[in-house]
């Protein structure tokens, strides 16, 4: 869940580990920010709570964790090595270097602008806005800034860059350029995971939390676009 996986996938992996460990009488309660596990030992219930950090996106770790859970469920992994394997997965770096991520964000912003009716001038403005915004976004995330604060700062920055590009006359298609300039921050993965969780029924509350969080990020992006629009309209 901390690396972009749905609650359904996390629960499936956890249950696979329980089967492999022959653990019975374990109940789990999943939330967006923590998971609580209760087991009965010698007739006495014990509850463990593990906080879940704000989600990022490293689907390689998600795949490795799912594979490990399947191997444990089949009995292919010695229980003494589980902790080592988990730590190995936790330390897997992103498969993409930072500059490639910046380039991908810039392309996402530029092509999104073009897709919703912008011209090539707007593409160039959004490309630059997305590249600079993603660079700042990565720096803020490395310093453990919250998702809302990071999104707000980068949305306003990218929208202002787009606004100044529009005022310079590089493009005359303001709506598409402003919207596209923040398009690299659209929370697509949280939305997808949220709908997966809602569809599972068992994790509906977590899914609703994910969807509401994504909706809040959309609101922040809209505020950034509004700031950019205000700058464009200044006489």
Q: What is residue 235's predicted lDDT score, i.e. its pLDDT?
A: 63
CA 93 to chain centre: 16
* Averaged pLDDT, 207-226: 94
Mark residue 216 as left, alpha or beta (left: phi above 0; alpha: psi -120 to 50; beta: remaining).
Answer: alpha
The string of pLDDT tens digits covering residues 151-201 is 999 999 999 999 999 999 999 999 999 999 999 999 988 899 999 999 988
The 8 Å CB, 24+ separation contacts for 192-201 are 192/6, 193/4, 193/5, 193/6, 193/7, 196/6, 196/7, 196/8, 197/6, 197/7, 197/8, 200/7, 200/8
pLDDT at 94 over 70: yes
Tokens 């902790």 -> residue: 83
* pTM confidence score: 0.85
* Averaged pLDDT, 96-119: 93
* Averaged pLDDT, 141-146: 86
Q: What is residue 124's predicted lDDT score, i.e. its pLDDT?
A: 96
pLDDT at 52 over 70: yes
The string of pLDDT tens digits covering residues 17-45 is 888 888 888 889 998 889 999 988 777 88
* Averaged pLDDT, 61-70: 93
Q: Judge whether 123 and 110 are in contact, CB under 8 Å.
A: yes
Q: How far apart are CA 171 and CA 192, in angstroms?
A: 33
What letters, b where the CB count within 10 A reaches 16 and e where it falls short, cover 124-133? Answer: bbbbbbbbbb
Please report the beta strands in the chain, taking only residues with DSSP state E, as ranges in sequence order: 26-30, 34-41, 44-51
Least confident of 95-99, 107-111, 121-125, 215-219: 95-99
Residue 59 C-beta-side C-alpha neighbours within 13 Å: 5
Q: How many residues does the chain have?
A: 235
């Amino acid at each position: 869940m901390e690396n972009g996986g749905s609650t359904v996938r996390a629960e499936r992996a956890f249950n696979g580990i329980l089967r492999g460990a022959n653990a019975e009488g374990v109940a789990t309660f999943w939330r967006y920010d923590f998971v609580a596990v209760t087991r009965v030992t010698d007739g006495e219930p014990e509850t463990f709570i593990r906080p879940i950090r704000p989600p990022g996106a490293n689907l390689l770790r998600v795949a490795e964790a799912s594979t490990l859970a399947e191997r444990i469920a089949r009995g292919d992994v010695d229980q003494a090595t589980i902790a080592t394997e988990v730590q190995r997965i936790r330390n897997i770096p992103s498969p993409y270097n930072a500059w490639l991520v910046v380039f991908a964000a810039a392309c996402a912003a530029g092509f999104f602008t073009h897709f919703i009716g912008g011209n090539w001038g707007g593409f160039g403005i959004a490309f630059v806005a997305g590249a600079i915004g993603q660079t700042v976004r990565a720096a803020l995330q490395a310093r453990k800034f919250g998702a809302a604060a990071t999104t707000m700062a980068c949305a306003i920055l990218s929208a202002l860059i787009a606004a100044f590009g529009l005022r310079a006359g590089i493009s005359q298609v303001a709506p598409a350029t402003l919207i596209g300039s923040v398009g690299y921050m659209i929370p697509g993965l949280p939305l997808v995971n949220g709908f997966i969780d809602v569809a599972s029924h068992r994790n509906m509350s977590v899914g609703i939390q994910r969807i509401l969080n994504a909706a809040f990020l959309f609101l922040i992006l809209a505020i950034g676009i509004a700031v950019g629009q205000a700058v464009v309209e200044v006489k």
